[in-house]
Each structure stands twice: as C-alpha cells, then as structure tokens.
Chains A and B, each alone.
Chain A
Amino acid sequence: MTLEAFLLLAAALFCVGLFGALSQQSIVMLMMGLELMINGVVVAAAGFWYWVSPAMPDGQVLILVAITAMALEMAMGFAVVTALFRAREVDTTDDAGELKG
C-alpha cells in the first residue's frame, strides 16, 4: 500500500463516476455517477490523511464532509426528480432541458 496506489484507486473511481454522470440518460443513474465521484474523493482524503499528515485530523474531517455531501446530494436529487416527474412526467436528462443555454 502506497499513497500513489490509493490516489490511483481514487482517480479510477472518480473517472468511472464521471463517465456515468456524463453518459446516463436517467436522472437517477446520473446521481449514481455523482455518488461514485464523491466516493473517489473519500478514498483520496483517506490516503492523504494516512500518508501525508496523520498527526492532524484534517483529512478525517474532509471525509466526514464528503460523506455528508453524498447523503445530501442523493436526498436533494430524489426530491428534484420527484418534483419534475409530478409536474411533467419527465425522468430523463434529455427531456429536462429548459435551462439549456
């Protein structure tokens, strides 16, 4: 186990999530991509805490923030999908394009 290996795992998870967030049509699947990206952030923060500054708790606090962001993102995402579906029976990203520039 090295810092590089941990960061490579984080980068791989982040990029798999990025692929999902960019390519999925369903808004719910898009949110799963975002969750995977935050998952990568958690791994990177744990790696930095353990191999760079284990004496300081900053890395652990960052993990706590990332986990909270993950839960809140999912709750808000489902609320938005529910509101959108109630109003217009839309659950794919291509149909929800009013704000497209």
Chain B
Amino acid sequence: MQAAAFWVLAAAAVGSGIAVFTVDSMARATFSLLASFLCVGGELLLVGLHYLGVLVILMMIMEMLVMAVFMIMYMMNPAGLMPMSMLHNRRGALAISGAVFAALAAGIVAIPWPERAGRPPRDPAFALGESIMGPKMPVMMVIGIAILATMIATVVLATHRGRYGHDA
C-alpha cells in the first residue's frame, strides 16, 4: 500500500514537474509546480515526517498563489494570444540535464549505502523542535537573520526608487 502510494506520488511529482516546462501558459505552469510540491509533501508524510510534510503543503499553496500573481504580471504569452517559444538552447539544456540524471542514477545504484542506524523517534516533529532549540540553534539563528535580510533587500529592490535610481 505504502509502496503503491510512493510510486503514484513519485510519478505525479515528476510528471507535473515536466508539465511546468511544456504547458504553454505561465499560469498553468505555476499550478503544475504546485501539484509537484504537493506530491513531494505527500512523500514526506509517507516516511512519517508529518510536521514537515504539512509545512511543505501549506507553504507551497501560499507561495504558488503569490507566484501566480507575478506569473500573470510577467506572462510571455498572455491568454495564448502571442504564441512563441519560451525556450532557448533547448538541445543543450536537454543534453546537460540528461547527462546529470544519468550520472546521479549511476551513483545511486552503484554506491553501497550505509546500514540504517537507529530507529525513527516516536514523534519526529518533537525531535526536530528540540534540536533546533538546542544543539542546532545556530541553524535557526542563521535562518532568522536570512529571512530578515531578505525582507529588507526585497523592499529596497522593489520600491520605485529601485536599485538603479531615478534616471536609469
């Protein structure tokens, strides 16, 4: 049952990932990306990461709704009225990503992975909270400062004055 769910979600995640770059509307691409994220959230739920799985699902729904607004703002082919290729160097990109996948897959199959050490805690979310408030506190502090820096930087960049000044 779990294995079947895994493969269905995996196929859906990769399929909607591919759809992001094959559909001809950027709004559709956004919702394909959302579907891919939802499937990955489902995979996290399958391995028992309930908190992180739900976090991914909720966060990505919000993120993609915000993204959809920007997508429509910068849409290259609005309402299908201006059909054009959104790609450049298609063959090179296909070759590079195919080669990277072949190399990664070869590594995944060839490497003797270590044995499983220990068992999952009864409540993984509790273990995560305890570690980021204890021994992994620096991670949490860096994340917090990075979020603050991003908020300041995005406001500075997006104001009307902008990075380039008035006359640029």
B78-106 contact mask (Cβ, 8 Å, vs A): 1 or 0 = 00000001111110111011101100110
Shortest distance from the beta carbon of B5 to any chain A beta carbon, whole Å: 9
Inter-chain contacts of A55 with B (CB < 8 A) = 117-121
Contact A1 B20 (CB under 8 A): no
Residue tally, chain A, CB below 8 Å to B? 72
Contact B40 A39 (CB under 8 A): yes
Contact B150 A81 (CB under 8 A): no
Contact B17 A43 (CB under 8 A): no
Contact A61 B21 (CB under 8 A): no
Number of A-B residue pairs with CB-CB distance less than 8 Å in the complex they form = 232
Inter-chain contacts of A60 with B (CB < 8 A) = 49, 52, 124, 127-128, 131
Residue tally, chain B, CB below 8 Å to A? 83
Considering the complex, which residues of chain B in the window 132-157 have a beta carbon less than 8 Å from any beta carbon of chain A? 132, 136, 139, 143, 146-147, 150-151, 153-155, 157
Inter-chain contacts of B101 with A (CB < 8 A) = 11-12, 14-15
A32 to B30, CA, bound (A): 8
Inter-chain contacts of A26 with B (CB < 8 A) = 26, 74, 76, 86
Residue A19 contacts which of B6, B21, B85, B146 (CB distance < 8 angstroms)? B21
Is B71's beta carbon under 8 Å from chain A? yes
Shortest distance from the beta carbon of A38 to any chain B beta carbon, whole Å: 10
Interface residues of B (CB under 8 A from A): 2-3, 6-7, 10, 13-14, 17-18, 20-21, 26, 29-30, 33, 36-37, 40, 43-44, 46-49, 52, 55-56, 59, 63, 67, 70-71, 74, 76, 85-90, 92-94, 96-98, 100-101, 104-105, 108-109, 113-114, 116-121, 124, 127-128, 130-132, 136, 139, 143, 146-147, 150-151, 153-155, 157-158, 160, 162-164, 168
Contact A82:B158 (CB < 8 A) given known A26-B76, A68-B146, A72-B147 = yes
A60 to B63, CA, bound (A): 21
Contact A36 B10 (CB under 8 A): no
A80 to B128, CA, bound (A): 33
The DSSP consensus for interface residues of chain A is helix
Interface residues of A (CB under 8 A from B): 1, 3-9, 11-20, 22-29, 32-33, 35-36, 39, 42-43, 46-47, 49-58, 60-61, 63-65, 67-68, 70-72, 74-76, 78-83, 85-88, 91-94
Inter-chain contacts of A76 with B (CB < 8 A) = 150, 153-154, 157
Inter-chain contacts of A32 with B (CB < 8 A) = 20, 29-30, 33, 67
Shortest distance from the beta carbon of A61 to any chain B beta carbon, whole Å: 5
